[in-house]
Structure 1
Amino acid sequence: MSYSAALLPYIPSLTTAITSIHPMTEEDLELIWPLTTYKAQQKASLVLQENDVCRHIFFLGSGLVRMFYLDESGHEINYRFTEAGHFFVDFQSVLTQQPSRYNWQALQDSQILLFPYPAIQQLYQRSTAWTNFGRLMAEHVYLQLNERVEMLLFMTPEERYRSVVSTNPGLVNQVSLLHLSSYLGIKPESLSRIRKRMMAQ
């Protein structure tokens, strides 16, 4: 394998993330390493800023990031969180190469692997396995985003919180009450009451 020493600690988790989406031979995996670069991201810094064009697909080697936007009143609304071992991207911006409406911010000191989207497109043309990977990842991103939309539309505030606790308990312990309440679409004091009520049960 040919990759820089900075990537070495994250190769196992990246390989797991890739093959969990679509099986890959060693030959197919070898194609991705020359395209991969590494970036250390400090806590509270922005990986991607609103009005910038998203030009990469990202993989979070360690840390935690959030996707958020500003509403009409300037309030930050959390749309998604990504934990270590997962890909993240503003798919609309990267596909259209139009400015993003979102910010991606590191909530912890984070280590990120970057894949330039033009190079990934060329990779899709070189390998059927990577073509299938791209399609499946697009479906995966869509389902993740749609899941949150349906959560806000069809669940009560308590059901939303219970859903996050059951599907992603680690996130609840890493994210502040303020960030989590924004994601769930409820006020912090309401979330606090829900948590106390659940603890008393």
Structure 2
Amino acid sequence: MESNIYVEQLLRDLSDKVVQRLVAKGEEILSLGEICDFVGIVRRGSLRMYYIDGEGNDVSFAFYLEGNIFTHYEGVLTNMPSQMIIVAMEDTEVELLPRPDLFSFYEESIENQALGRSMADLIFLEAKRRIDFLLFLSPEQRYLQLLSDTPQIFDLVAHKYIASYIGVKPQSLSRIRARLK
């Protein structure tokens, strides 16, 4: 999900609370069963959010590139353990806003609450976009939309992860790509 003026404003307003972190390739920034207590932004590098389905398959849910905000917002709101995993696809620099500092900031003023609501709206709309992507587009349309929206993803992400993101097996992704050439 793209960074925007609301997130950048939060980062400025909470600059003394922002945690800078380098996440090594393959390192999880959020593990299965862990409670997500941050909202973050990718400054350099890339992350992948995924889950393990009922058959034990690794299914990509989201990719976060430079400038994207990331979180498991359900955990931030409910303190429920995550069923998602967020892992670095390469050495990645992130900035994290810790949940307690974020929520304390919201309580300071109506303006801060409005800023928080705007960020929450952005997170909601990104989740809605992902749901619509899966519900209303064919695998070929998903591929084309991903190619249109973030063409660089094909250079950064293994094709097996892209295949799971668009809801197909790697062989089907190869057939889609061949058909569209």
**TM-score, structure 1 length as denominator?**
0.83
- Change beyond 3 A, Cα 1:153–1:122: same
- Code of the residue aligned with 2:39 in structure 1: it is I
Q: Percent identity?
A: 29
Does 1 or 2 have the higher relative contact order (CA < 8 Å, sep 6+)? 2
Which structure 2 residues correspond to residues 1-201 of structure 1 after superposition, within 5 A? 17-19=3-5, 21=6, 24=9, 30-199=12-181
Displacement over 6 Å in runs of 4+: none
Q: Which has the larger radius of gyration?
A: 1
Task: Give the secondary structure class of the aligned counterpart of 1:139.
Answer: helix
Q: Counterparts of 1:58 and 1:22 in 2: how far apart (Å)?
A: 9
Q: Is the 8 A contact 1:67 1:79 kept in 2?
A: yes
Query: Which AA in structure 1 matches 2:37?
Result: R
Aligned length: 180
1:110-154 deviation per Cα after TM superposition (whole angstroms, max 9, x unaligned): 011111111111111224443222112211112212222222221
Contact 1:52 1:100 in 2 (8 A): yes
The farther-off stretch of 142-151 and 69-78 is 142-151
Identify if the C-alpha distance between structure 1 residues 152 and 129 changes in structure 2 by more than 3 Å, giving closer, same or farther.
same
Q: Are the counterparts in 2 of residues 53 and 97 from structure 1 also a CA contact under 8 Å?
A: yes
More helix by share: 1
**Shift in Å, 1:107:** 0.5
Q: Which amino acid is 1:111 matched to?
A: E
How far did 1:104 drift? 0.4
Query: Unmatched 5+ residue regions in structure 1?
Result: 1-15
SS in 2 for 1:101: coil
Q: RMSD between aligned alpha carbons?
A: 1.9
Letter in 2 for 1:36: V
